Amino acid sequence: MAKRKIPATRVAKQPREANAERNQVTALARGLAILRCFTRTRPELGSTEIARLTCLPQPTVWRLCQTLVQSGFLSAASDGLRFRLGAAVLELGFIVPSTVDILEEVQPRMKQIARTYGAEIAIAGRDALDMVCLERWTAGSLSSMNPSRRLYRRRLAGPMSRHFTRLREKPYSRR
């Protein structure tokens, strides 16, 4: 009896790969891949661009984008042909800081860096174009600042991502 040839697309997967795919919803993974295409340098994208970035068929991308628009995760750009991130993404972004206490996460590392290098290290939060110092470690002590009191406001001398070390201290004044 001759063995029947199995097409390449139906070749059995390794057990680990099969389990991973069995526990994954492909449509959801594709939708998340679409959302990840948007960046600061690519705030608006057309379905053809998204298809190229995700390696998904353009009609599939179009349908997924329409679903994401209906659920608020994408919105149509002013030209009606392109998409941008929607308010639902922002809403989820606001939830994250309330569920992760960043200060608890970084305190041990800040302390270690300060002691190892005998330096001062600080963590700050963004407030529009200002940085608000939340906590500061020196080699010997911790200085914790209540962000709601904002003891000091440090204004940026340029884009935050490039010049965070060039902050100048400025007394806080209520606006």
One-letter amino acid for residue 124 of the chain = A
Domain identity same for 160 and 116:
yes
Domain identity same for 75 and 144:
no
pLDDT tens-digit profile of 55-96?
999 999 999 999 999 999 999 998 889 999 999 998 887 776
Domain identity same for 28 and 64:
yes
- Asked whether residue 128 is domain-assigned, the answer is yes
With contact defined as beta carbons under 8 Å apart, do 123 and 147 qualify?
Answer: no
pLDDT tens-digit profile of 115-154?
888 888 888 877 767 777 777 887 766 554 433 333 334 4
- Asked whether residue 5 is domain-assigned, the answer is no
Domain identity same for 82 and 28:
yes
- Asked whether residue 29 is domain-assigned, the answer is yes
| Structural domain boundaries enclosing 163 | 101-171
Strands 142-144 and 74-76: unpaired
Q: How confident is the model at residue 106 (pLDDT cuts 50, 70, 90)?
A: confident
Q: In whole angstroms, how far apart are CA 105 and each of 10, 108, 134?
A: 46, 7, 13
pLDDT at 170: 41
pLDDT at 13: 46
Supply φ then ψ for residue 112, to 5 degrees.
-65, -45
What's the rounded Cα separation, in Å, for the pair 70 and 82? 15
Q: Tell me the three state secondary structure of residue 161.
A: helix
Strands 121-127 and 142-144: unpaired
- Asked whether residue 26 is domain-assigned, the answer is yes
Strand partners, 84: 44, 75
pLDDT at 99: 61
Q: How confident is the model at residue 18 (pLDDT cuts 50, 70, 90)?
A: low
What's the rounded Cα separation, in Å, for the pair 36 and 53? 10
pLDDT tens-digit profile of 46-66?
999 999 999 999 999 999 999
Domain identity same for 43 and 65:
yes
One-letter amino acid for residue 162 of the chain = R
Of 73, 91, 109, the residue at which a domain comes to its end is 91
- Asked whether residue 141 is domain-assigned, the answer is yes
Q: How confident is the model at residue 173 (pLDDT cuts 50, 70, 90)?
A: very low
Token pair recorded at residue 172: 């806080």
Q: In whole angstroms, how far apart are CA 75 and each of 37, 47, 88, 95?
A: 14, 13, 10, 20
Of 91, 113, 148, the residue at which a domain comes to its end is 91
Of 91, 114, 136, the residue at which a domain comes to its end is 91
pLDDT at 133: 76
Q: How many structural domains comprise the chain?
A: 2
